[in-house]
Amino acid sequence: MAPSGATQRTAKLRFAPIVGAPIAAATPLSQRLSALAKEKGITLGTAAETDNTHIMKGYFSALPDGNQTTIIYVWDVLDPAGTRLHRIQGQEKVPGGGADPWSTVPAKVMEGIADKAIQGYLAWVSGAKT
């Protein structure tokens, strides 16, 4: 397995817009993704750049589940042509339910999902051929 630092320098990651989460939930998630990626030495790209090696696209759902809410998330790591190379997925449960399940999801839970996404990406890319 290649050292993760060397692999990270050859990869350039762009985050696609988040699908399914409202702005109030997506904002702390996006801020944490950006901050943690920079902290971990991941080179970030933009949609305007043509040399991105990976695109990470997140899909979210929040479902009422009795007296709690279940957040389901899927991150697809894509190549520049849009082919899925890797998938990171999971779920989190938070107390509270109701008509708007997103209203019960605290920022810290979304930040924790960002942590898992970056950890999953780093674990994958450190062993991937870029």
Q: H/E/C letters for each residue in 87-116?
A: EEEEEEEEECCCCCHHHHCCHHHHHHHHHH
Domains delineated in the chain: 4-127 (3.30.160.670)
- Rounded distance between C-alpha atoms, residue 128 and residue 7, angstroms: 8
Q: How far lies 2's CA from each of 13, 29, 32, 43, in Å?
A: 18, 29, 26, 17
- Rounded distance between C-alpha atoms, residue 129 and residue 85, angstroms: 11
Q: What is the pLDDT of residue 128?
A: 57
pTM: 0.88
CB atoms near residue 7 (< 10 Å): 18
- Rounded distance between C-alpha atoms, residue 73 and residue 90, angstroms: 6
Consecutive 10-residue averages of pLDDT for the chain (130 residues)? 45 94 96 95 92 96 92 97 96 88 94 97 79
Adjacent-strand bridge partners of 57: 76
Q: 72 — alpha (psi -120 to 50), left (phi > 0) or beta? A: beta
Q: What is the pLDDT of residue 126?
A: 87
